[in-house]
Amino acid sequence: MPVLESLIGPIASIIDKIIPDKAAREKAKLELLQLQGSQEMQLIEARLSAIVAEAKSTDPWTSRARPSFLYVIYVLILLSVPMGVIAAFDPTKASAIGAGMTAYLSALPDSLYALFGTGYLGYTAARQIGKIKGVDS
């Protein structure tokens, strides 16, 4: 459980930042601590250990797959930035492009967005663990 114990502090600090209501924040922290010894927490630890194993892999395809996937998602999101420039010159064309992009992004399966969220959280957790252990900078 050392991996999990090292995550409790960072998760608690994230809770402090994202939950403005003090009572709700304390309730979330209490639930986190109650979850620590449960079977669900053991399942989370098993998933995180797989992520850490992937990150430590000497195979460049394995160790870079998760960050590469995140970069692809970032590119998809950042492609919407030029829309502001187009809208400044031709709002009608920008609306048509926006409708097309919305249709495209809506057509992507929800599981892809879930995979992105899981990959992002797993990657940041693995980086945090590496920083705590002193192997990542």
Domain that holds residue 79: 2-133
137: which residues sit within 8 A by CB, 6+ positions away?
131
Cα dihedral 110, 111, 117, 120 sign: negative
CA separation for the pair 110, 112 (Å, rounded): 5
CA separation for the pair 14, 7 (Å, rounded): 11
CA separation for the pair 6, 64 (Å, rounded): 23
pLDDT at residue number 92: 92
Segment 60-80, tens digit of pLDDT: 666 666 677 778 878 878 877
Query: What confidence category does residue 120 fall into, taking pLDDT thresholds of 50, 70 and 90?
Result: confident
Q: How many structural domains does the chain have?
A: 1
pLDDT at residue number 63: 63
Selection from 38, 45, 39 nearest residue 11 by Cα: 45
Read off the DSSP letter of residue 59: S
Q: Under DSSP, is residue 79 helix (H, G, I), strand (E, B) or coil? A: coil
Segment 7-52, tens digit of pLDDT: 666 777 777 777 777 788 778 777 777 766 666 667 777 777 766 7
Tokens of 45: 């630890």
Selection from 71, 47, 75 nearest residue 120 by Cα: 71
